[in-house]
Amino acid sequence: MEINSEIEQLLKGVAQNDTSISDAIKQLQNLQSADLGYAKVDLSRKSRNGYPEVIYGAGKTPTQIIEIMKALKAQGENVLCTRVSHEKYQEIKLAEPNAKYFSDAQCVQLIQQEISLTSDYIAVVTAGTSDVPVAEEAAITAQMYGNRVKRIYDVGVAGIHRLFEHLDEIRKAKVVIVVAGMEGALVSVVGGLINAPLIAVPTSIGYGTNFGGLTALMTMLNSCASGITVVNVDNGFGAGYSASLMNHLGVKENTD
């Protein structure tokens, strides 16, 4: 049952003197969050932000992840968990056999409600194959929230003809995510060729002076191409989440 529906039923109970005010306060507190001791699971995030809480798996034990998943699952929502190693997933699937693992993205999905996909799509573009894990985190996140996704991988500036082979497909996307390491130049190139919002994701892929993604980040922040928004290094999830919000805003005008 949706939280708003539960609140409505609770208020009716108070109005009809079936529920005391003190009991109602306790129930309202339980509707907002689930206190597991090591985590306070946000149960009302979807009603505030449109999407339920997402579990960040790095730094959490499999047991902690499982218990948080159970709290979110009880709300009837689809559950997404990011940064989950294959070893952790082996334990998670014993408790949640229906959980699906995406190894490249290191994401776990637990689907309880059917996902309807948008007609407009998000294009996820990478400079190199080494950027694919971050790109897949973005793609899986976007798909989780009901977006069609088209993947266009390994089209970096070192062989820029590869990009032009897919340019029409990229231009027809409502939102474009570009994932690049090294010097991050692909973002400026794509940004100068499209009329859609572009979300840039710097990755930590590269040799020493990539500085763990800092060089790509600075290149993207300093791009002279307009319409570029930059997320943090390796933050595929953040890119996919933001792209989903954008992709659900109306219908892209056909300029063909």
pLDDT of 40 > 80? The answer is no
Percent of the chain at pLDDT > 90 equals 68
Same domain for 141 and 191, yes or no, is: yes
User: In terms of domains, do 101 and 199 share one?
Assistant: no
- Residue 20 placed within a domain: no
Residue 5: its pLDDT value, please? Answer: 59
Q: Please tell me which residue, 5 or 108, carries the higher pLDDT value.
A: 108
50 within domain boundaries: yes
CB 54 within 8 A of CB 31: no
Is residue 27 a part of any domain in this protein? no
In this prediction, residue 31 carries a pLDDT of 58
Cα–Cα dist 179/99, whole Å: 27
Of the residues 114, 130, 149, the one at which a domain ends: 114
Q: What is the 3-state secondary structure of the chain?
A: CCHHHHHHHHHHHHHCCCCCHHHHHHHHHHHHEEECCCCEEECCHHHHHCCCCCEECCCCCHHHHHHHHHHHHCCCCCEEEECCCHHHHHHHHHHCCCCEEECCCCEEEECCCCCCCCCCEEEEEECCHHHHHHHHHHHHHHHHCCCEEEEECCCCHHHCHHHHCCHHHHHCCCEEEEEECCCCCHHHHHHCCCCCCEEEEECCCCCHHHHHHHHHHHHHHCCCCCCEEECCCCCHHHHHHHHHHHHCCCCCCCCC
Q: What is the pLDDT of residue 50?
A: 78
Q: Are residues 129 and 219 in the same domain?
A: yes
Last residue of a domain, one of 72, 98, 114: 114
Residues 154, 229, single domain; the answer is yes
pLDDT digits (tens, 9 = 90+) for 56-103: 999 999 999 999 998 888 888 889 999 999 999 999 999 999 999 999
CA distance 99 to 85: 14
Tell me, what amino acid is at 108? V
Residues 90 and 125 in one domain: no
Q: What pLDDT shows up at residue 1?
A: 44
Q: Would you place residue 16 in the very low, low, confident or very high pLDDT band (cuts 50, 70, 90)?
A: low
196 and 215 inside one domain: yes
Look at residues 53, 87, 114 and tell me which one is the last residue of a structural domain: 114
On whether residue 187 sits in a domain, the answer given is yes
Tokens encoding 11: 């208020």
**Taking 70 as the threshold, does the pLDDT of residue 225 lie above it?**
yes
150 and 105 co-located in one domain = no
Instruction: State the average pLDDT over residues 10-23.
Output: 65
Q: What's the CATH number where 190 sits?
A: 3.40.50.1970
Q: Is residue 253 part of a domain?
A: no
Has residue 26 been placed in a domain? no
Domain count, the chain: 2
Q: Is residue 13 part of a domain?
A: no
Same domain for 72 and 172, yes or no, is no
Domain residues for 226? 121-247
Say yes or no to pLDDT of 27 above 70: no
Using alpha carbons, select from 244, 236, 247, 217 the residue that is nearest to residue 82. Answer: 236
- Same domain flag for 91 and 171: no
